[in-house]
Amino acid sequence: MSCLPAGFSVSGSSSPIFNNRERGSSLSSRVCSSIGGLQFRGSNSKEIWGNTLDFPDQKGFSNWSNKSPNLDPVYAQGTLSFPKKAQKWWEKSLQPNMVEIESAQELVEYLRNAGDRLVVLNFFSPGCGGCKALHPKICQLAESNSNTIFLTVNYEEHKPMCYALHVHVLPFFRFYRGADGKVCSFSCTNATIKKFKDALAKHGTERCSLGPAKGLEEKELLALASIDLISKDLVPLSSPEEEKVQELVEAAKSSSFSIDESKVELKEGNAMVAA
């Protein structure tokens, strides 16, 4: 609803029509044929309060001037319509178990918190015709496999992350499952969709794996951390020296000799066990 002060004038070639919806009400107005406009003289402006101004033609109504700013306002009703935002093809037919990844940090956390559920990582590009053609079928498979998590990564928006993960062909898919981490990866199109269905059937069966979800490989985490896409806290603290020391500790435990673990020392560039 627009508010216009009583006494305003409208300049233009077309003459507006005042439509008084209250029977018996009077209105003091005058049509100025010389300028093709309508003026309200504010002596009785409350009588037109809340009524509607109908304009049959909007041409020429580019200049509005207020003649009496101190008079009571007149309300004119109108309708504004805004066109709906067009939905992008990769946003259509999405299922509740389909999530678009916004950052590398979010990807790592999703994979680590998936438990024993199968996670399908889908790399796509808005300009990829094969990705667009395959999208409806992926949505159908997501609907029929509600216990599987489908994560999508927009290649155009996350190129550094895709480079670090060695993704160079689209559409591209990675399958992750619990403590096994990545169980397979491949590229497929509509013509080779059977490859996707077979992987889904093989790795989507109910089972229980030992240990927490592995997610990305350590070298991939290091690559992402090196370009500040994830926190360094997400990279496991392991090194060949530490692993060697641990192997020695475990070997000592299984032998007839005892070892004081508090005396195990790790020196940079050289692993040394002292008893």
Q: Is 68 within 8 Å of 7 (Cβ atoms)?
A: yes
**3-state SS track over the chain:** CEEEECCCEECCCCCCEEECCCCCCCCCEEEECCCCEEEECHHHHHHHCCCEEECCCCCCCCCEECCCCCCCEEEECCCCCCCCCCCCHHHCCCCCCEEECCCHHHHHHHHHCCCCCEEEEEEECCCCHHHHHHHHHHHHHHHHCCCCEEEEEECCCCHHHHHHCCCCCCCEEEEEEHHHCEEEEEECCCCCHHHHHHHHHHHCCCCCCCCCCCCCCHHHHHHHHHCCCCCHHHCCCCCHHHHHHHHHHHHHHHCCCCCCHHHEEEECCEEEECC
Q: Which residues are catalytic?
A: 128, 131
Sheet order of strands, 118-124 included: 98-100, 149-154, 118-124, 172-177, 182-187
Query: Could you give the angle at the alpha carbon of 99 between the alpha carbons of 98 and 104, nearest 5°?
Result: 145
Tokens of 108: 């790592």
Spatial separation of the C-alpha atoms in residues 102 and 157, rounded to whole Å: 9
